[in-house]
Structure 1
Amino acid sequence: MTPIIEPIDLFQLASGDRLAIQVYKFRGQNSGKKVYIQANLHGCEIVGNAVVHRLIEYLSDVPQEAIAGEIWIVPTCNPLATNQRGHFYATGGFHAYSGEDWNRIFWEYEPTKAALTHFVQQHFESSEGAIAQAYRGQILAAFKQELAKQERPCGVSVPELFRSKLQSLCLDADYLIDIHSSSNDGLDFTYYFPNRETEAGWLGFDYAILLEQGGDYAFDEAFLWPWIELEKAFTKAGRELRLPIDGFTLELGSGMKMCPESIARGLAGIKNYLAHRGILSTETPQPSQTKCLSSKNITRYRATVGGMVGDRLPLGSPVKTGEKLYEILSFNRQGKMPEVLTINSMIDGIVWDHAISESANQGEYVMSVLAIN
C-alpha cells in the first residue's frame, strides 16, 4: 500500500529557513489501534533511520487489508540534532543552545492525586475501552492547554516548540516505539515500564530493562507514565487494570553507526510486535526468551584516575566478580613513572556498554556491566 506522506513544520531558524519532519502514515483497510514509531531523537543515534526505512519499504508492499488500524512512522524526527556537528562527531544528544537532553524535555500529563481519585471513582465500573477513551480525552485536553502557551507574546523555548510537534502526533496512539542506540558502543535491547514485561518480550531482544519510576520526561515515559499512574490508582481502589497501551524505547547498537545486525534485529522485532498486537497479518508472531531485568542491575564504571583506557573486555563478554574489566594508563605530574592500573568487576554479569572514547578524566564514564542472574 502507498502511505500518506505528510510534512510537518517545526520552527523557523534565524536564516529564515524552516525545519520540518515527515510522517509516513499507513492506514489499514480495517479499523484498529494506532502505532507511532520514530527514530533519531538524539542526533548521534542514527541507526533507527535505517530500521524505519526498511519498515516503510516493507509496509509499502503489504496489501491494505493486511493492516488493522494505522502505523505512523517518523524518520530523522529531530533534524536540528541530526545535523549538529563538532568536527567529525555528531554531537546532537543535547540542544546546543540550552544544553538540554533532547530526551528529557517532554510534556507529561500529571493530574493531582485528588483528580486521579475522582476519575477512578467515576469510572470504576466502566469497561477498559470506556476508561481509555475518557482518560485519553483528559490527556488531550490538558495538552491543548499546554499548546496555548505558544500563542503568548513571550513565546516558548525551542525544546518546547519541538516537543509539541512530536507529541501532537503520538498522544492519541495506543502503542509507541522510540528507536535509539547507545551514544557509546552498546548491545541491542529494549527499555520497558511496569507491567509490560510480557509485551516487551514480543520485540524479540535477549534483554529488556525495566524503568521503574517516572520523572525523567523522556519521550516514551511521558507517553506511558500517565497510564501507569492510572492503573496504579485503580489497583489501589480494588480493581486490577492493565490497559492495552504500550511505550518502548529500542536501543540498537552504537552511536554514529549503522550496524547491519542491529538494523535487522530492530526491524524483525517491530514486525513481530505489530503481528502480536494484531495490526499486521502478514507476519506470524514468534515468542522470545527475553530476560527482563531492572535498570538497577547495571553497574556503571567511571575512571578512578585520569588516563587512557585499554584492554577492555569486549561487549557481551561474561565476567565474574574480581575478574579484570579494563586497564587504565595513568600519567602524573609528580616526577614519577607512568602507572597501569587494573580495574576488576564488582559483580557477575556481561559487558553491557563501552564509552566511545578510550581517554577518560577521573570520574568520567568507561563502561557498564549488567548483572543477569
Structure 2
Amino acid sequence: MLPIISTIPLRQMASGDILSLQVYKFIGATPGKKVYIQSNLHGAEIVGNAVIHQLIEFLWMLDNTDLIGEIWLLPVCNPMGTNQRSHHFSSGRYCVYEAKDWNRIFWDYEKDISQSNQSGENQLLTFAKSQINLDIEEIRINFLDAIKQQFVKLSDKVNSDSGVAYTEKFRYKLQSLSLDADYLIDIHSSTNQGLNYLYYFRDREESAKFFLLDFGILLDEYDGDAFDEAFIKPWLALEECFLQLGRTIKFDVEAWTLELGRGMEMIPDSVAKGVRGIKNYLKQKGVLSNDFQLDDIPQRNHDMMFKTKSKVTKYYATVGGMINSRIALGREVRAGEQIYQILIFNKQGKLPTTVDIFADRDGFVYDVSANQSVNEGEFVLGIM
C-alpha cells in the first residue's frame, strides 16, 4: 500500500529557503478511524523519526484491505527545533526567538468554550444540554464540527496582512492536520536520560496497556497548552459536563505522548518498543483488520504500572556543584535512601564538602539529568 505524500510549506527563511512538513497518509479500503502520529516536536528528541520510518515500512507492505480508516504520519514535525544547535549538541526544546517551549503553545478549544454565554451559563454546559438526548456518535460529529468552526477563525488571523508570530502559524499548521483525528500519538523522549513510558488521560488505562510499555503516568494536572492536552481536553471537559447532567459518556477519542529513551539518540531498544507498541495499539483499536495478524506481538494481557503526575517527584539541586554519585536510572528506591550526593567547591576559603540527598518517598528513578554539573535549582532526577 503506497502512501499519499504531501509536502506542506511551513516557513520561508531570510535566505529564501523554505522549511516544510511532509505527511505520509495511508488510507485503507474501508472507512474508519483516523490516527495521527508525529515525532520530533522537540528538536533533540529524534527517536520518533526512526519509529515512524519503521511504521512507514510496515504499512507499505500491507494491502489496503488490511487497514480500516487512515493513518497520518508526520516525522520531523518541527524543522526549526530539529535544526537548532548549541556547539555539537542538538537542543530545540524552545523557540529561542519567542522564548516558548515548542510543546506549550497549542490552541485549546476548551478554554474558548468554557467562557460564559449571554445568559451567564458556561457555553460547554449549554452545548451538552442541547445534545443530552442524542446518541454518542451524533454528539461526537456535532462537537467536532463546533471545534472546526472555531478553529477556522484562527486562519483569518494567520493569513492576515499583519501576520502572526511564527509559533502561532506553526501550531495552526500542526493542529489543522490533527484536529479531526480519533487517536493522536505524539512521540517524545527525555531531554535527559529516561525510561520508556507514556503519558495518558483519565479513563484510558485499558487502552494504555495496548502500547506494551511498563510504565504510564496519568496526567491528572495540566493546562491544555501541550499538543496532546489541547487535542483531548475539550472532549474530557464535555464528558465531565454530561456527567454533571446525569449521563455517562466516554468518547472513543484518545491522545498519547510516548516517551522513548533519551534525546539526541535513536536507541534501538526504545525504537523497537515504540514500533511494537504502536502496531499493537492499531490492532487492538481495530485500525488493522481482524484478519491481519501481528506475529511479533504476544497474545496475552500486558501488566503495566500506573502513576499520577501529581505524585511524581522531581529533585532539583539544593546547592551548586558536581554530582559525585547518583542512583541509577530504573532503580527502585525507598523513602530515606540516599539518591545522590553533590560535591561543592566552596569559594569561602574552605575545603570542598559534600551534601547527601535522600528520597522522601518510595518509587523508582525514571529520569536523570545528562549533565552531572549542576547549578542550584537545576534538575537532577525524577522518581515516580
Question: The TM-score by the shorter chain falls in which range?
Answer: over 0.9
Q: How does 1:139-158 map to 2 (within 5 A)?
A: 139-158=147-166
Moved more, 107-116 or 314-323: 107-116
Contact 1:272 1:283 in 2 (8 A): no
Q: Quote the residue 1:129 is aligned against.
A: 137
Q: How does 1:9-28 map to 2 (within 5 A)?
A: 9-28=9-28
Contact 2:33 2:69 in 1 (8 A): yes
Partners in 2 of 1:287 and 1:5 — Cα distance? 36
Contact 1:214 1:225 in 2 (8 A): no
Partners in 2 of 1:184 and 1:103 — Cα distance? 17
Code of the aligned partner of 1:26: F
How many equivalent residue pairs? 370
Deviations 1:36-95 (A, max 9, x none): 000000001110000010000011001110000000000001011000000011110000
Change (3 A) 1:93 1:283: farther
The answer to whether residue 310 in structure 2 is matched with residue 293 in structure 1 is: no
Match among 342, 345, 349 for residue 331 of structure 1:
345
Partners in 1 of 2:305 and 2:316 — Cα distance? 26
Code of the aligned partner of 1:318: E
Partners in 1 of 2:166 and 2:324 — Cα distance? 40
Partners in 2 of 1:349 and 1:170 — Cα distance? 35
The answer to whether residue 269 in structure 2 is matched with residue 255 in structure 1 is: no
CA RMSD of aligned residues (A): 1.1
Q: How does 1:185-200 map to 2 (within 5 A)?
A: 185-200=193-208
Partners in 1 of 2:129 and 2:358 — Cα distance? 54
Moved more, 252-261 or 107-116: 107-116
Partners in 1 of 2:139 and 2:79 — Cα distance? 36
Contact 2:44 2:91 in 1 (8 A): yes
Code of the aligned partner of 2:92: G
Q: Quote the residue 2:281 is aligned against.
A: 273
How far residue 344 of structure 1 moved from its aligned partner, in angstroms, is 1.5
Q: Alignment identity in percent?
A: 47
Partners in 1 of 2:282 and 2:171 — Cα distance? 25
Deviations 1:321-357 (A, max 9, x none): 1112111110111100001222121111111110110
Contact 1:272 1:286 in 2 (8 A): no
Partners in 2 of 1:308 and 1:121 — Cα distance? 58
Code of the aligned partner of 1:139: I
Q: Quote the residue 2:76 is aligned against.
A: 76
Q: Quote the residue 1:52 is aligned against.
A: 52
Q: How does 1:1-373 map to 2 (within 5 A)?
A: 1-110=1-110, 111=113, 112=115, 114-281=122-289, 282-283=292-293, 286-370=300-384
Deviations 1:152-199 (A, max 9, x none): 232111101111111110001100000000101001100001111111
How far residue 202 of structure 1 moved from its aligned partner, in angstroms, is 1.2
- Alignment partner of 2:94: what SS? coil
Contact 2:54 2:275 in 1 (8 A): yes
How far residue 310 of structure 1 moved from its aligned partner, in angstroms, is 2.5
Gaps of 5+ in 2: 117-121
Change (3 A) 1:209 1:283: farther
- Alignment partner of 2:261: what SS? coil
Contact 1:45 1:255 in 2 (8 A): yes
Code of the aligned partner of 2:69: G
Q: Quote the residue 2:119 is aligned against.
A: none
Contact 1:205 1:269 in 2 (8 A): yes
Code of the aligned partner of 2:102: W
Contact 1:271 1:283 in 2 (8 A): no
